[in-house]
Amino acid sequence: MRIVSLITAVAVVSILYVLVFERDVLEGFSDGQNIEELANDLGDGPELNSGANVITSKTEKGKKVISVVVIESFAKTIDSAVVLRGETAAARLVEVRSETSGQVVNEPLRKGATILQGQVLCSLDPGTRQATLADALAGLAEARARVPETQAKLDEAEARLTEAKINFNAANKLSEGGYASETRVASAKAAVRAAEASIASATAGFDSTRSKIQSAEASVAIAKKEIERISLIAPFDGILETDTAELGTLLQPGALCAKIIQLNPIKFVGFVPETELGRITKGSNAIAKLINGQEIQGKVTFISRSADQTTRTFRVEIEADNADLLISKGQTSEISIASDGTQAHLLPQSALTLDDSGALGVRTVDDKSRVVFIATDIIRDTMKGVWLKGLPEKAKVIVLGQEYVTDGVEVQQVFQEAKN
C-alpha cells in the first residue's frame, strides 16, 4: 500500500509540474509541434513576469528579447517653481501698553472687534494733570511777561555805555591838548566800566528770563504729553486679539491695555535652502496653498540675507491680499515661488526607477533598441504625473518592464500613447 501511494504521489507531482511549469511545451505538443523542438525548449521555456506582464520572445536567430512598454515623450517648457513649506503670519502685531499711571475709566472692548487707527482703546483718569498743565501755562506767561522789562534794562545799559564812551573820548582828547585834567579822564573811564558792567548785568537778566521761558515751555509740553498718555489709541487698523483693560483697572507704566493684529495684507513665511536661494528674487510671483485647498496669489517681499544657524535656511516672506480676513495667523501652507522656465517631461510616476548606485531616473530605449538609464530630477508632482528634467528633448521612455532590464540589453518595444 505504501508503494502504491508513493507512486501515485510522484505521478501527481509530475502532472502538476507539466501543467504549471511546462504549459507552453504541452500546448505546442497538442498543436502538433515537432517533439524535438519542444524538447530543446523544455529546459528554458518563455519567462513570465506576473507583476508587469513582461515576456521574453524568441527572435529568428533563437535569441531571447524582452518586450517592454514604451512611450515617446517630448520636452515642454514649464515654470520650475521653488516649493516651500511655511505658515501664515500677521502683517503687524503690537501690544498697546500704558506709559503712565492711571485708572481705566472706559468700558472694555472685546477681542475679535475690528479696530480703526486712532481709536481709543483705554482711557485713564486724568487726575490732576489738567491743573498741572494750567500751572505750567501760568509760569510760561509770567516768564514771557518779564521779557519787556529785561529788554528795557538791557537797552538802557547799552545807551549808558555809548554815552560813557563818548565822554571818555572827549576827555581824553582835551587832556592831550592840555584842556582837561587827568582826573576828568579817569572819571570818564570809570563811567565806561560801570556802563559795561550794567550791560553784563542786564544781559544776564535777559538770559535768565529766556531760560525761565524755556523751562516753562518744557513744563507745558510735559503736562500736555502726560494728558495725551491717558488715552491709549490704536496705532493701525486691525483686530483685537485680547480684551482691552477692564473698567477700574489701575494701569502702571508698561501695563498691557490690548493686543492688536493686522491680517491685511497677510504674510506667508517659508524657509528656502541655500541651494535654491539663487532661484528666488524679490518681486517674484508666488502661490500659497492652504490645507483646505484655497490658493492665494502674492509676491515675494523679503528674502533674508542671513541664514538660520541651525537649519542653514533663509527666511522668505510673501505678501498677499486678505481683505475678507478669511486667512488667519499660523495656518500651514505650501508656497510655490515662480522661477525661470525649464525643459521637462511629464511621465507617470511608475516610470521612475533606481540604478545600481541608487540614482533616481528612468530607463529609455535608444535607436538600436537597447536600454539606457538616464538620471533625472523631479521638478513637480501633479495628478497627471511627475515633471522630470535631465532627459533629451525627445526620449523613448520605458513605462512598463523597466525593473527587469539593465543598460545595454536589447528589448522589443511596444509603444503606448503618451497621456500628456
pLDDT reported for residue 42:
41
Amino acid 236 reads F
As to burial, measured by CB atoms within 10 angstroms (0-12 exposed, 13-18 middle, 19+ buried), residue 372 is middle
- State how far the Cα of 37 lies from the Cα of 40, in Å rounded to an integer: 5
Q: Is the pLDDT of residue 60 over 50?
A: no
Q: Is the pLDDT of residue 419 over 50?
A: yes
Q: Is the pLDDT of residue 188 over 90?
A: no
pLDDT-wise least confident of 42-46, 142-146, 292-296: 42-46
**Mean predicted confidence (pLDDT) in 71-87:** 85
pLDDT reported for residue 81:
77
pLDDT-wise least confident of 16-20, 295-299, 331-335, 408-412: 16-20
pLDDT-wise least confident of 100-109, 265-274, 338-347: 338-347
List pLDDT tens digits, range 254-311: 999 999 999 999 999 999 988 888 888 888 889 999 988 888 999 999 999 998 888 8
**CB contact burial 91-114 (16+ within 10 A = b; e otherwise):** beebebbbebebebeeebbeeeee
- State how far the Cα of 408 lies from the Cα of 403, in Å rounded to an integer: 14
pLDDT reported for residue 36:
44
**Mean predicted confidence (pLDDT) in 18-26:** 52
Percent of the chain whose pLDDT exceeds 70:
78
HSE of 88 in the Cβ direction (CA atoms, 13 Å)? 27
Highest mean pLDDT (candidates 17-26, 47-56, 192-201, 389-398): 389-398
**Mean predicted confidence (pLDDT) in 62-73:** 82
pLDDT-wise least confident of 53-62, 273-282, 386-395: 53-62
Predicted confidence band of residue 234 (pLDDT cuts 50, 70, 90): very high
- State how far the Cα of 223 lies from the Cα of 406, in Å rounded to an integer: 88
Q: Which domains does the chain have, with CATH numbers?
A: 1-45 (no CATH), 70-78+342-415 (2.40.420.20), 82-91+262-340 (2.40.30.170), 126-229 (1.10.287.620)
**Mean predicted confidence (pLDDT) in 326-336:** 90
Predicted confidence band of residue 213 (pLDDT cuts 50, 70, 90): confident
pLDDT reported for residue 182:
66
Residues 138 and 163 sit within 8 Å (Cβ to Cβ): no
Q: What are phi and psi of 65, to 5 degrees?
A: -130, 130
**Mean predicted confidence (pLDDT) in 345-373:** 90
- State how far the Cα of 386 lies from the Cα of 311, in Å rounded to an integer: 28
Average pLDDT score, the chain: 80
Strands (E), 153-294: 231-233, 238-240, 250-251, 256-262, 266-273, 285-290
Identify the residue with better confidence: 375 or 39. Answer: 375
**Mean predicted confidence (pLDDT) in 205-233:** 86
Q: Is the pLDDT of residue 10 over 90?
A: no
pLDDT reported for residue 3:
64
Residues 99 and 229 sit within 8 Å (Cβ to Cβ): yes
**Mean predicted confidence (pLDDT) in 102-107:** 92
Q: Is the pLDDT of residue 120 over 90?
A: yes
pLDDT reported for residue 45:
37
**CB contact burial 31-52 (16+ within 10 A = b; e otherwise):** eeeeeeebeebeeeeeeeeeee
pLDDT reported for residue 352:
92
